[in-house]
Amino acid sequence: MEKHVHEHVDSVGTYVGVLLLLLAATVATTLVAFVDLGDFSVVVALAIACGKMLLVALFFMHVRYSTKLTRLVILGGLMWLAILLLLTLTDFATRGWGGASVV
């Protein structure tokens, strides 16, 4: 039986700090969108979003204190989403399907 580790009470300051980071990241991602980064734009946008997700998960959802099983469950979910996206893309990326130019 694993030791229950959730009784860490974070300080208000921790949460405020995370909130400010999240808000700043939102402003950043909005402003960066107006800069021409070509194909790299979407990478940056997703990277910032992933960063925000990590902050919310680790601090607000207390994943930093969670059990290994919880983390395995989360990882599994994300991996499965990746499987859905990637294997579906093996079809669309290799079919030369640029969509139709239908009006």
Partner 1 sequence: MSTAVVAQETENYLNNGYGLKSWLLTKDHKRIAVLYFISISIFFAIGGTFASLIRAELLTPPGDLVSSETYNKLFTMHGVIMVFFFLIPSVPATMGNFFLPIMIGARDLAFPRVNLLSWYLLIVGFALALYAMIAGGVDTGWTFYTPYSTTYSNTYVIATALGIFVAGFSSILTGLNFIVTVHRMRAPGMTWFRMPLFVWANYATGVIQVLGTPVIAVTLVLVFCERVFHIGIFDPQLGGDPILFQHLFWFYSHPAVYIMVLPAMGVISELVSTFSRKPVFGYGFVAFSSMGIAIIGFLVWGHHLFVSGQSLYAGLVFSFLSYFVAIPSAIKVFNWTATLYKGSISFATPMLYAFGFIGLFTIGGLTGLFVASLGLDVHVTDTYFVIAHFHYVMVGGTIMAYMGGLHYWWPKMTGRMYPEGWAKLSALIIFVGFNFTFFPQFILGYLGMPRRYHAYPDEFQVLHVLSTAGATVLAIGYILPAIYLFWSLRYGEKASANPWGATGLEWQTPSPPPTHNFEKIPVVTHDAYDYTTVPREVMEVGR
Partner 2 sequence: MADSHANIEETLALREQFDTEEQQKDASTLGMWIFLITEIMFFGGMFAAYTIYRSAYPTVFGVASSSLNVTIGAINTCVLLLSSFTMVMAVRAGQLGQRNMIIFFLIITLLFGCVFLGVKAYEWTEKYEEHHMPGQVAFHLEGTPLQGPAKIFFSLYFAMTGLHALHMVVGVGILSFIIWETKKGRYSSAYYTPIDIAGLYWHFVDIVWIFLFPLLYLIDRHLPK
Please, what's the largest Cα pairwise distance for the chain?
62
For partner 2 (CB under 8 A), the number of binding residues is 60
Q: Does 58 bind partner 2 (CB under 8 A)?
A: no
Question: Which residues neighbour 52 within 8 Å (Cβ) at sequence distance 6 or greater?
Answer: 22, 25, 26
| Residue 7 found at the interface with partner 2 (CB under 8 A) | yes
Task: Choose from partner 1, partner 2, none: what does 30 bind? Cβ within 5-8 Å by kind.
Answer: partner 2
**Residue 43 binds to partner 2 (criterion: CB under 8 A):** no
Integer Cα distance of 26 and 24 in angstroms: 5
Residue identified by tokens 């919310």 is 56
DSSP reduced 3-state for 38: coil
CA R_g for the chain: 19
Binding site for partner 2 (CB under 8 A): 1-2, 4, 6-7, 9-10, 12, 15-16, 18-19, 22-23, 26-27, 29-30, 33-37, 41-42, 45-46, 48-49, 52-53, 56-57, 59-61, 66-67, 69-70, 73-74, 76-78, 80-81, 84-85, 88-89, 92-93, 97-103
